[in-house]
Amino acid sequence: MDLGPYLLFASLEGLVHAAVLSLIALGLSLVFGVMRIVNVAHGEFFMLGAILTWWVSNFVMGNPALGFLLALLIVPLVVGIIAMFSDLLILRHLKYDPEVTIIATIGILYIIQQFALMTFGPDARPVEQPFNIRLDLYWFGFSAYKFFVIFSAIILLFCVWLVMAKTKFGLILRATQLDSEIAQAFGIPISTVYSLVFGVGAAIAAVGAVLIVPIQQAHYLMGGEPLLLAFIVVIIGGLGSLKGTVVAAMLIGISDGIISVFFSPNLAKILATLLVVVVLLIRPNGLFRTIRI
Amino acid sequence: MLIVNNLTSYYSNIKILKELSFNLNQGQVLCLLGRNGAGKTTTLKSIMGLVDKTRGSILFNNEKLSGIPAHYIPKKGIGYVPQGRRLFLELTVEENLEIGLLARKKGKDTKDKVLSMFPRLKERINQISGTLSGGEQQMLALARALCIEPSLLLLDEPSEGLQPSMISLIRNSILELKKQGVSILLVEQRIEAILPVADEVIIIENGSKTFSAYAKEFKDKKTLQNLYNFTGL
Ligand SMILES: Nc1ncnc2c1ncn2[C@@H]1O[C@H](COP(=O)(O)OP(=O)(O)OP(=O)(O)O)[C@@H](O)[C@H]1O
Ligand SMILES: [Mg+2]
């Protein structure tokens, strides 16, 4: 392959990861934006989504698309409910104190990770692609499923934007984010809002997981790297900014894809982390913090 | 309609309000005066359920407010205009009003009524509230609280940082609301700001009531002198 097509290939691969990464980062950023807490367990909700997808797809015999669709419907729901319970049982009682919450979510991280290890074992679990079509792109073939991943992520991002910008629920979230005390004084039940946001944040990451397992395999340690990348994305994009999150995820995801293909995945991570340092030096609030939603 | 009895409030175990008691009758304007840090804002926040640790009782229309979750309190018909306005600054004028309307599920009628009181807000309905002038922001804070159609309105220093014409506009709104039967608990720093509207004045010092007077006593030189002394002006 020539350099041009090779670059295109690497960018497409990068775009797939960028799509999933933007979902994970969006969940993290939503939780941080509204609740002002750092959820270190976020990557484990992603991992849980992936493992549950494997479990559901094993459960359903016959056409792999059936299992996948079922997983897409119920896995985010289940992960969201688990996250809501961890908010109800743990975080709420800590009054969302920033430092204490970090420690608590580290605890949740290990609980979920060990639970996954004990229940599903240490092996990487493959999930069959729901459909196996290769699109001929003249220079190389590319899996149609990967386009589906990109497309689904775009749809979900658009839906989240729509909810945030155009609905009453979105307005309530934004008001809670801006001033939770005054939000209460106007009848907004902020603890219910917090539980929902924590659940929705985890569920969005779980959607990313359902989409990625047919490409990547499920494993109980797979939550660490996406968490790191999501942090990088959220810092670069500006905490709580939806637009910034998407742009930064594209930037990180695509450059990660290209650098990994041409050089090495490790170099890609090193450069991404370096970028965080640079951005924090020039724009401590992130690239897009001034632009909301 | 509002009976505050032996209200004691703490911030992390420091006693801020000490056995504060007062009554507010329907359609009356009760003013709280006091120096900086006396506990005026804390009193209003305690009524709104925003102070974690309080003792004593707060009754509103014979219902106990103390102890119920903060977000139920506005639903009983209590509107709050906080000190420093506390608008949702990144939201538009309309969205700020929408939050007020949502509290008691009020609709377009209420919104139109409130906007007719403040035509300047109507012209700026899609403006981001953070870009409004100080006076317009104060109007919006008041309008937002009126969107819940309150029977009790808590106002925390609404004249802070405003020029005289804007102060008189706010004052006229207060008188208008009073005429409609709304009870008002008004916090102010300066006596001149409240004398024309108050039915009763309470002085708070260090979280306790140290002096109170009814409107008819304001003409009395000695009472007036007392008021000035207590507020340190
Ligand atoms: N969130 C808080 N945590 C701890 N202490 C607080 C808090 N809010 C207020 N205080 C303290 O409570 C006391 C009373 O404060 P409050 O805001 O009620 O005064 P105020 O009478 O409204 O004063 P001002 O006229 O300056 O607005 C002050 O000493 C203040 O430092
Ligand atoms: Mg005050």
Using H for helix, E for strand and C for coil, what is the string for B55-107?
EEEEEECCEECCCCCHHHCHHHCEEEECCCCCCCCCCEHHHHHHHHHHHCCCC
What interhelical angle do A42-59 and A224-237 show, nearest 10? 130
* Phi, psi of B205, rounded to the nearest 5 degrees: -130, 130
From the CA of B205, the nearest ligand is 1
pLDDT band at B233 (very low <50, low <70, confident <90, very high): low
Classify residue B51 by its DSSP letter. -
Choose from A164, A180, A182 for mutation: most chain B CBs within 10 A. Answer: A182
Residue A290 pLDDT > 70, yes or no?
no
Q: What is the pLDDT of residues B8-62, one digit of tens each?
A: 999 998 999 999 999 999 999 999 998 899 999 999 999 999 999 999 999 999 9
Task: State how far residue A18 is from chain B, nearest Cα, in angstroms.
Answer: 29
From the CA of B189, the nearest ligand is 1
Residue A281 pLDDT > 70, yes or no?
yes
As a whole number of Å, the end-to-end CA separation of chain B is 32
- Per CB-CB distance under 8 Å, the chain A contacts of B69 are 189
Q: What is the pLDDT of residues A220-250, one digit of tens each?
A: 999 999 999 999 898 888 776 788 889 999 9
Q: Which two tokens stand for residue B201?
A: 């004045």
Please report whether residue A239 resides in a domain.
no
- Per CB-CB distance under 8 Å, the chain A contacts of B49 are 184
Structure confidence at residue B17 (pLDDT): 96
Please report whether residue A238 resides in a domain.
no
Question: Percentage of chain B surpassing pLDDT 70?
Answer: 98
- Per CB-CB distance under 8 Å, the chain A contacts of B80 are 182, 185-186
Mean pLDDT of the region B85-92:
95
Please report whether residue A237 resides in a domain.
no
Of B17, B40, B86, best ligand 1 pocket probe by most atoms within 8 Å of the beta carbon: B40
Q: What is B145-207 written as a DSSP string?
A: HHTT--SEEEEE-TTTT--HHHHHHHHHHHHHHHHTT-EEEEEES-HHHHTTT-SEEEEEETT
Residue A292 pLDDT > 60, yes or no?
no
Q: What is the pLDDT of residues A88-108, one digit of tens each?
A: 999 999 999 999 999 999 999
pLDDT band at A273 (very low <50, low <70, confident <90, very high): confident
Please report whether residue A280 resides in a domain.
no
Structure confidence at residue A293 (pLDDT): 43
Residue A291 pLDDT > 50, yes or no?
no
Nearest Cα neighbor of B101 from A89, A90, A186 is A186
Domain count of the fold of chain A:
1
Residue A210 pLDDT > 80, yes or no?
yes
Question: Percentage of chain A surpassing pLDDT 70?
Answer: 98
Mean pLDDT of the region A38-55:
96
Residue A205 pLDDT > 60, yes or no?
yes
As a whole number of Å, the end-to-end CA separation of chain A is 41
Task: Tell me the CA distances in angstroms from A274 to A260, A267, A268, B79, B118, one per residue in order.
Answer: 16, 10, 10, 50, 52
pLDDT band at B231 (very low <50, low <70, confident <90, very high): low
> How would you write chain A as a 3-class SS string?
CCHHHHHHHHHHHHHHHHHHHHHHHHHHHHHHHHHCCCCCCHHHHHHHHHHHHHHHHHHCCCCHHHHHHHHHHHHHHHHHHHHHHHHHHCHHHHCCCHHHHHHHHHHHHHHHHHHHHHHHCCCCECCCCCCCCEEECCCCEEEHHHHHHHHHHHHHHHHHHHHHHHCHHHHHHHHHHHCHHHHHHCCCCHHHHHHHHHHHHHHHHHHHHHHHHHHHCECCCCCHHHHHHHHHHHHHHCCCCHHHHHHHHHHHHHHHHHHHHHCCHHHHHHHHHHHHHHHHHHCCCCCCCCCCC
Task: Choose the closest CB to A181 out of B50, B102, B148.
Answer: B50
Q: How many Å apart are CA A205 and CA A25, to the nearest integer?
A: 8
Q: How many Å apart are CA A191 and CA A255, to the nearest integer?
A: 39
Q: Which residues contact B173 (CB under 8 A, 6 or more apart)?
A: B117, B142
Q: CATH 3.40.50.300 residue ranges in chain B?
A: 2-77+150-231
Please report whether residue A210 resides in a domain.
yes
Structure confidence at residue B84 (pLDDT): 94
* Type of residue numbered A284: P
Domain with A197, as residue range(s), is 3-223
Q: Which two tokens stand for residue A28?
A: 């993290």
Cβ–Cβ under 8 Å, residues A207 and A72: yes
Residue nearest atom 18 in ligand 1 by C-alpha distance: B39
Question: What's the CA-to-centroid distance between B17 and ligand 2, angstroms?
Answer: 13
Q: Which two tokens stand for residue A189?
A: 């039940």
In the predicted model, what is the mean pLDDT of chain A?
91
In the predicted model, what is the mean pLDDT of chain B?
92
Widest distance between CA atoms in chain A: 63
Mean pLDDT of the region A172-201:
96
Greater confidence (A165 vs A2) lies with A165
Mean pLDDT of the region A248-256:
89
Q: How many Å apart are CA A4 and CA B162, to the nearest integer?
A: 64
Q: Count the alpha carbons within 13 Å of A204 in the hemisphere toward its beta carbon.
A: 28
ipTM of the complex in this document: 0.93
Q: What is the pLDDT of residues A137-157, one digit of tens each?
A: 888 888 999 999 999 999 999
Name the closest residue on chain A to residue B149, using Cα atoms.
A186
CATH number of B2-77+150-231: 3.40.50.300
Lowest mean pLDDT among A5-9, A32-36, A157-161, A209-213: A5-9
Question: What's the CA-to-centroid distance between A89 and ligand 1, angstroms?
Answer: 32
Please report whether residue A81 resides in a domain.
yes
